[in-house]
Amino acid sequence: MLRSCLAFVLVLTLAPVALAQPAEPEPAEPPAPAEPPPPPPPPPAATPAPAQQQPAPPMQQQPPPPAYPAPAYGYPPPVYGPPPPVAPAQDTSAYRHDGFYLRFGLGAAYGAVKSKGQLLGTDAEVSYTGWGPAYELLIGGTVGSGVVLGGGLLGQDIKNPDTSVTVGQGVSTSKVQQDGTLGLGTLGMFVDWFPDETGGAHVGAMLGLGIIGLNGDNGDSNPGIGGALMAGYDFWVGKQWSLGPEARVVFAKQSRDLGSDTLDDTGVGFQLALSVLYH
């Protein structure tokens, strides 16, 4: 009974407080979802892309000029060092015929000498023929383009010449071989010409005294005249040296006193030699 009374009193006390509080609003319903937007219109038909042009090659830029350092005040310190080497001078005379000229050579030769005159009041002719060595020695210098002037000796020996004697009106008395040597040559001035200063061909001539070796028991010779023609080819074997074959024709003429008689001697020689040249 007592519990019922207390419950009733508690209800009466709390009822006005509950009535005074406002009722909580009910939660609002969520809004309806919006309708989706219409799809976008289709894109226009694609046009072909224009052909791409090749880009122009980039222009090469010139390097900037070198920058010059700012001038320094005062004198720079001296620089010491060896002088630059001097370039060797080119030898323009190598393999060229110029300057000093020296020629010498040996070879073989054929010679013929005739002596004509009066012997004891009778016309007589003596002929000498035979083979022997040939020799030459020429010294000179170049005076122009390939032209050489100088002096020298061209000679030959006739070893054990065949001798024939004719006396009177063509009557031959004897033909024998004499023992000994008969010399023939010329001593004088010469000219030698090289058409090409760097080539080997050359031609030349000599004019001077004629030499025929008929002296001693054969009488005393008087000065005569002599000359020679020569031609050959020199092959280079060094900067200044060359050698080669050479052909020569030598001529000599002189008179000879034999007692009270006078004889005229005439000789000609044909020479072929190997010539050595410094030129």
Indicate whether 270 belongs to any domain.
yes
Which domain CATH number covers 157? 2.40.160.20
Indicate whether 77 belongs to any domain.
no
The C-alpha atoms of residue 13 and residue 6 are separated, in whole angstroms, by: 11
For the chain, how many structural domains are there in total? 1
Residue 212 confidence (pLDDT)? 92
* Interval 143-198: pLDDT, tens: 999 999 999 999 999 999 999 888 877 656 556 566 788 999 999 999 999 999 99
CB-CB contact of 130 with 143 (8 Å): no
Q: Say if residue 22's pLDDT is above 50.
A: no
Nearest alpha-carbon partner for 193 in 97, 67, 257, 274: 97
The C-alpha atoms of residue 257 and residue 175 are separated, in whole angstroms, by: 23
**Poorest-pLDDT segment among 57-66, 90-99, 234-243:** 57-66
- Domain that includes residue 259, residue range: 100-278
Indicate whether 256 belongs to any domain.
yes
Mention every residue, 6+ apart, whose C-beta is less than 8 A from residue 14.
none
- 103 φ/ψ angles, rounded to the nearest 5 degrees: -130, 135
Mention every residue, 6+ apart, whose C-beta is less than 8 A from residue 76.
none
Q: Say if residue 20's pLDDT is above 50.
A: no
> Containing H/E element for 1?
none
- 112 φ/ψ angles, rounded to the nearest 5 degrees: -140, 130
Indicate whether 242 belongs to any domain.
yes
Indicate whether 129 belongs to any domain.
yes
Most confident segment among 82-91, 172-181, 237-246 = 237-246
* Interval 121-147: pLDDT, tens: 788 888 999 999 999 999 999 999 999
CB-CB contact of 110 with 161 (8 Å): no
Nearest alpha-carbon partner for 132 in 163, 160, 103: 160
Question: Three-state SS across 81-137?
Answer: CCCCCCCCCCCCCCCCCCCEEEEEEEEEEEEEEEEEEEECCEEEEEEEEEEEEEEEE
Indicate whether 35 belongs to any domain.
no
The C-alpha atoms of residue 101 and residue 146 are separated, in whole angstroms, by: 11
- Whole-structure pTM value: 0.64
Indicate whether 168 belongs to any domain.
yes
